[in-house]
Structure 1
Amino acid sequence: MTPKEIVLSAVAALFTKFDPEAAGQLLKEDYIQHNPAVPTGAAPILGFLPILKDHRLSVTNHRVLSEGDLVVLHSTYDNAQAFGGQTMVAFDVFRVQDGKLAEHWDNLQAAVPASQTASGNSMTDGATEIRDLDKTAENRALVEAFVKDVLLGAAPQKITDYISTMTYTQHNPMVGNGLDGLGAALKAMAEAGQAMAYTKTHLIVAEGNFVFTASEGKLGDTSTAFYDLFRVEGDKIVEHWDTISAIPAEMVHANGKF
């Protein structure tokens, strides 16, 4: 199986079938966990399955992309009180090794209905089809440069070199569509003492027209994880999804958030 097929099979065993035997065959025993609230290793997550089944957890996968040994899932979890809320939007990143899941990173945020977002878009709707596989490297380089210049602040004035001035569909619930919507949201956040600052990007995964990044930084004074997914079309970023979550000072393992 491909890394993508392995991950989808493992996630189905874990969160649809709640089958510890099937899931255990797809998890390395020394599975490295980066979710701050879940102990590392395969045994803790397998032992957690009866609780998830009792809560009637369900998962909907919206987007799946992979590069090398890394696979990214963009999903919604319902009945997800064990994960922090009734409905949670998540990015899960898995590293596959020797046909099994070897490492996991994630970032979850409470879902906001489209009727309550600044753009009128939900946190998960929009384009899903992976296209332009021949442009994967080019699109990855574009987003890497955007991260360096704009998100990390090397040359923020170059934002229009990366984001389309014609079409920029936004799925962050606090941000309106277009560059004007982004600018207005960033200004409002700064004025409210919640300025957003990226300091380091740890993971980049690209497949065709989609590029995912996992970064850390500050939201106001709070250490924060920023997981972003960008869609590229015509050599410009035209759509954006994200989840934002505080990084706790204490975790149940020593692996860190990243």
Structure 2
Amino acid sequence: MTPREIALSAVQAIFADFDPVKAEALLAPDYIQHNVGVPTGAAPIVGFIPALQESGIKCTIHRVISEGDLVVLHVTYENAQAFGGDTLVAFDVFRVENGKVAEHWDNLQPLVTQTASGHVMTDGAADIKDLDKTASNKALIEGFVREVLQGRAPERVTDYISTTHYTQHNPLVADGLDGLGAAMQAFAEAGQAMTYARTPLIVAEGNFVFTASEGKLGDVPTAFFDLFRIEDGKIVEHWDTLSTIPDEMPHSNGKF
């Protein structure tokens, strides 16, 4: 199986079939966990499956992006009290090694139904296209992260984001560059400026590029997981989840 197939099979076993035997066969015993509330290793995941089944949790996958041994899922979890909320929007990132899921990162945010743009946090384009442009699109986002998100040359934002159509799925930000600029100004005035310090994970496939970044929202350590869709060399659509990085976790692996 491909890394994509292995990751999807593991999610199916855990969140749909609730099959501990199948899940255990797909997870490396020394599975490295970065979820801030779950201990590391395969055993805690496998042991938690009966409780997940009893909870009635439902996982809906909206997008899948893979590159090399990394697979990114854009999902919604319903009845997700086990993860801290009724309905959560998430990005799950899996690293596959030797035919098993060996490492997992995620970022979960409560679903917001009233959004500034009128778009849902998970709707929009999903089809992967332009596979021949994967490398150039990844380079575009690497430049965007470095110059705009990390603040080295924010005035170059129009080199990266389309000035004619930019669809926004962050619930607090309206469409277009004007909507983005107004939101960033409002965040800063409220003492909630977003600062990106580093981006350990970048995964690209065709017209989609995913990034996982560490930074701050105001003074609070925060993880920013972003997904960008590129068209004709410019960013035209954006989804994200934000979550606080706690001081203590049930493992020593950190958020990243």
- Band the TM-score falls in, shorter-chain normalisation: over 0.9
Give, in whole Å, the separation in 1 of the partners of 2:151 and 2:68: 28
Per the TM alignment, residue 8 of structure 1 is displaced from its structure 2 partner at its CA by 0.5
Per the TM alignment, residue 50 of structure 1 is displaced from its structure 2 partner at its CA by 1.1
For 1:222, which of 220, 223, 226 is the aligned residue?
Answer: 220
Unpaired runs of at least 5, structure 2: none
Give, in whole Å, the separation in 2 of the partners of 1:227 and 1:139: 17
Give, in whole Å, the separation in 1 of the partners of 2:90 and 2:142: 22
Equivalent positions of 1:96-175 (< 5 A) are 96-113=96-113, 116-175=114-173
Per the TM alignment, residue 51 of structure 1 is displaced from its structure 2 partner at its CA by 1.1
Give, in whole Å, the separation in 2 of the partners of 1:151 and 1:191: 18
TM-score between the two structures when normalised by the length of structure 2: 0.99
Q: Which letter maps to 1:25? A: A
Q: Does 1:87 align with 2:87?
A: yes
Q: Which letter maps to 1:43? A: A
**Secondary structure in 1 matching 2:17:** coil
Match of 1:185 in 2: 183
Match of 1:74 in 2: 74
Q: Deviations over 1:36-81 (max 9, x none)?
A: 1100000001111111111100000000010000000000000000
Match of 2:6 in 1: 6
Q: Which letter maps to 2:24? A: G
Give, in whole Å, the separation in 1 of the partners of 2:36 and 2:83: 11
Give, in whole Å, the separation in 1 of the partners of 2:44 and 2:10: 15
Q: Deviations over 1:128-166 (max 9, x none)?
A: 000000000000000000000000111000000000000
Q: Which letter maps to 1:122? A: V
Per the TM alignment, residue 220 of structure 1 is displaced from its structure 2 partner at its CA by 0.7
Q: Which letter maps to 1:199? A: A
Equivalent positions of 1:18-57 (< 5 A) are 18-57=18-57
Percent identity among equivalent residues?
Answer: 71
For 2:207, which of 192, 202, 209 is the aligned residue?
Answer: 209
Runs of 4+ in 1 over 6 A off after TM superposition: none
Match of 2:234 in 1: 236
Give, in whole Å, the separation in 2 of the partners of 1:61 and 1:236: 26
Q: Which letter maps to 1:227? A: F
Q: Deviations over 1:209-256 (max 9, x none)?
A: 000000010001100000000000010000000000000000000000
